[in-house]
Amino acid sequence: MNELEGMNPSDLGIEMHRFAAEIYPICRSITGEGIRETFKQIQKLIPVQLHEVASGTKVFDWVVPREWNIRDAYIKDSTGARVVDFRQSNLHVVNYSVPVSARLLLSELKDRLFTLPEHPDWIPYRTAYYREDWGFCLSQNRLRQLQDAEYEVCIDSTLEDGRLTWAECFLPGASTEEVLISAHACHPSLANDNLSGLTVATFLARLLSGRALRYSYRFLFIPGTIGAIAWLARNREAAGRVRHGLVLTCVGDSGGFHYKKSRRGDAEIDRAAAHVLRHCGEPAEVLDFSPYGYDERQYCSPGFNLPVGCLMRSVWGTFPEYHTSADNLDFIHPEQMARSLRLCASIVDVLEKNKKYLNRNPYCEPQLGKRNLYRSTGGESIDVEVNARLWVLNLSDGEHSLLDIAERSGLPFAAIHDAAELLLESGLLAEAAESGSDG
């Protein structure tokens, strides 16, 4: 029993939000001290190992970029006042900007200033990862206040040979087959897109650690795109052991759940996630696979074709706060994060318990009454419990898994699993020999 199991959901949500708030101010990027510092904070909660690849290393069709670090950045007016200040928001600098020190007229600077005219108070989030460039992001209102005068522009950054870093938490289970949980960690102060996924993944690892697990679990905290590509390039064998996977992102806002299927479309994770969503009591939608989005793009590239889906609440790009300063700590909610964690735990539960059984009394129905199996154990209503037992007995022919039975009966997986446990105890059911991993 670990310390999270007995915690009430509201305390758990508050603790999750507090963790997100702690790492919110860090200026992360795909490389550099910010992402490493984030991993060190995660390391305080779960056992995490850092892995590094040198700049210039070829990973499939990509090359690990130089490492970016930043200390300060500003635009100063003629009085020396900072009219744009990195210290107030790390979104003010285009992420991966090369160092700059110059005096420029506003008219010369304008092409390098990015705003969101439709949301005049918000600062956009922009990157310049794979091209040498620089720029500033600011609110439209701030831009409007600037005079057409000369400004002092400074970006105190470095772009040098260094390392790309990612973090892994591995929880060994009875099987060497793995469940992959992946979250990107490369965005600076953005809460839903980045920190919510990191936080739910971290707490899921905490929740599972110390449990006797059927599968081994690998939690990856990685820079988006290049991190997943580097991990896949360096871990072909581990990738081959992935039986189920989830990318977690945007799981803290108040929107309903969205699960994007893996490229396979009918993998066990796709069915498990869809089933759990159907019974979760919140608005939920299942989306087909598409080759854009988050790191499922890499895991589901045709050479790997891993059974990895993506769990979100609001879908990236569809909410106005996406990639802006409005995706802040007020945009994510303790309760939503705790419920996202609970949903992930339910999906894991299905994966862990989804097995096939054999009815040992397949010629007509066994007489339940004489075995005291027409009673309620107090979990569900008596009708649901007895129905679940009849479904499990009828479909346990060694061909149907508990998830198959849950889907066909329309009953929640937990009710089907409870029935199977009871029937096992009574001797009416036996575990079928595992015939392979695709259940």
Q: How far is the CB of 255 from Zn ion (least distance, A)?
A: 16
Q: How far is the CB of 51 from Zn ion (least distance, A)?
A: 22
Q: How far is the CB of 184 from Zn ion (least distance, A)?
A: 7
Q: Which is nearer to Zn ion, 193 or 253 (CB)?
A: 193
Q: How far is the CB of 160 from Zn ion (least distance, A)?
A: 25
The pairing of beta strand 397-401 with beta strand 429-431? unpaired
Q: Which is nearer to Zn ion, 125 or 203 (CB)?
A: 125
Distance between CA atoms of residues 405 and 414, nearest Å:
11
Q: Which is nearer to Zn ion, 67 or 193 (CB)?
A: 193
Q: Which is nearer to Zn ion, 268 or 321 (CB)?
A: 321
The first and second tokens of residue 176, run together, are 């060497």
Using CA atoms, how far residue 42 sits from 3, 413, 436, in Å, is 17, 32, 35
Residue pair 190/23 in contact by the 8 Å Cβ criterion: no
Cα Rg of the chain, angstroms: 25
Task: Tell me which amino acid residue 398 is.
Answer: G
Distance between CA atoms of residues 239 and 243, nearest Å:
9
Non-local (6+) Cβ contacts of 379 within 8 A are 385, 415, 418
Distance between CA atoms of residues 49 and 328, nearest Å:
28
Q: How far is the CB of 28 from Zn ion (least distance, A)?
A: 11
Q: How far is the CB of 288 from Zn ion (least distance, A)?
A: 21
Residue pair 188/216 in contact by the 8 Å Cβ criterion: no
The first and second tokens of residue 188, run together, are 């600076």
Distance between CA atoms of residues 51 and 238, nearest Å:
15
Q: How far is the CB of 316 from Zn ion (least distance, A)?
A: 6
259 phi/psi in degrees, rounded to 5? -115, 120
Residue pair 247/182 in contact by the 8 Å Cβ criterion: yes
Q: Which is nearer to Zn ion, 223 or 309 (CB)?
A: 223
Which H or E run includes 75?
strand 67-76
Q: Which is nearer to Zn ion, 252 or 412 (CB)?
A: 252
Q: Which is nearer to Zn ion, 168 or 193 (CB)?
A: 193
Binding site for Zn ion (CB under 5 A): 193
* DSSP SS3 for 95: strand
**Nearest residue by C-beta to Zn ion?**
193
Q: How far is the CB of 206 from Zn ion (least distance, A)?
A: 25
Strands (E), 115-252: 136-137, 150-160, 163-171, 178-184, 216-222, 242-248
